[in-house]
Amino acid sequence: MLELNKLYFTVPDSDGSGGVRNIIDGIDFTFDDGKFYVITGPNGSGKTTLAKLIMGINPVTGGDILFNGRNISALSITERSKAGIAYSFQQPARFKGITFRDLLMVATGIEDEGKLLEILGRVGICPLSFLDKEVDGRLSGGEIKKIELATTIAANPKLAIYDEPDTGIDLWTIGPMVSLLKKELAENHTTTIVVSHNKAFLEAADVVIIINSGKIVYNGSLEGAMPLLDDLSVCTYRNSCEGDRDAGCYR
């Protein structure tokens, strides 16, 4: 459903030499319909950049992106959204004077209170008072991530991209979040791409993709990915657990 053909994203070198650097370095990959993909890899490897290229937030430098057979490489963010791609930001925007209800209405075009409440039920947000909360700086990190997830799901996308959805979410919420994304995939056939290091997401994946230095260096099962994840020292906390293999995380 989504094909990446020789995809490049290039930026000027930061050393002032006038050269360029490939953040995404010629990626060829096909995402199949209705599967759960988790993209992982070391910090700075290009995971978020790739996700943003698919949504059109970063412009493609070279190569093509085909979405259900249509070349979307030159389409705007708006056009890609209308084509059925939705994106959940790692650091969601905060707005003064715009409420959760407003965002849901933009995402769905629905104004009917009953239908909006149905969506809240579907994404597992309980208190109704949440609907009229302003999406501003007063929300906690966890609250705004729930809102971000909800607007993405409410848009009923064919392809949903979640960039580090567990940032700012407490440990007890991650399990239900994984279940929610799996349920959306099962019920609505939403092809799902999650950028994450989190064990819970990696274990839920149909396909784990490891990116390193802007290239896909592995795709397949989590089991097969383990030796490489160890080698790449994906974990940024390795020093604190002293590399203990049984620390219970796959970071």
Partner 1 sequence: MLDAIDRALLKTVAELEELPKGAYNIRKNGKLLGRHVSANINIETNEEETGIIVKIKPGTKNESVHIPVILSQAGLYDVVQNAFIIGDDAEVTIVAGCGIHCGSPEPEGHAGIHEFKVGKNAKVTYVEKHYASGEGTGRRTLNPTTRVFLAEGAHAEMELTQIGGVDETSRINEAVLGPGSLLLITERVLTDGEQTAVSTNTIVLKGAGSRANMISRSVMKGNSKQIFYATIDAQNQCYGHIECDAIIMDNGTNETMPSLKAGHPDAELTHEASIGKIANDQLTKLMSLGLTYDEAVNRIIQGFLK
The contact set with partner 1 (CB under 8 A) reads 55, 57, 76-78, 81-82, 86-87, 89, 91-98, 102-103, 106-107, 151, 155
Dig out the tokens for 231 from the structure.
């080698």
- Name the residue nearer to partner 1 (CB basis): 106 or 226: 106
- Name the residue nearer to partner 1 (CB basis): 95 or 237: 95
- Name the residue nearer to partner 1 (CB basis): 159 or 235: 159
Asked if residue 84 lies in contact with residue 33, where contact means CB atoms within 8 angstroms, the answer is no
Least distance from partner 1 to the Cβ atom of residue 217, Å: 28
Asked if residue 225 lies in contact with residue 193, where contact means CB atoms within 8 angstroms, the answer is no
Taken as a whole, the chain contains a residue count of: 251
Least distance from partner 1 to the Cβ atom of residue 137, Å: 9
> Which among 188, 215, 204, 52 has a CA at the least distance from the CA of 123?
188
Q: If 0-12 CB within 10 Å is exposed, 13-18 middle and 19+ buried, where does residue 24 land?
A: buried
- Name the residue nearer to partner 1 (CB basis): 20 or 93: 93
Residues in Cβ contact with 127 at an 8 Å cutoff, skipping those fewer than 6 apart = none
Least distance from partner 1 to the Cβ atom of residue 52, Å: 9
Least distance from partner 1 to the Cβ atom of residue 150, Å: 12
Q: CA-CA distance, 72 to 74, in Å (whole number)?
A: 6
Least distance from partner 1 to the Cβ atom of residue 199, Å: 28
- Name the residue nearer to partner 1 (CB basis): 91 or 236: 91
Residues in Cβ contact with 56 at an 8 Å cutoff, skipping those fewer than 6 apart = 72, 75, 76, 77, 79, 80
- Name the residue nearer to partner 1 (CB basis): 6 or 94: 94
Beta partners for 92? none
Dig out the tokens for 118 from the structure.
């149905």
Q: If 0-12 CB within 10 Å is exposed, 13-18 middle and 19+ buried, where does residue 7 land?
A: buried
Least distance from partner 1 to the Cβ atom of residue 185, Å: 20
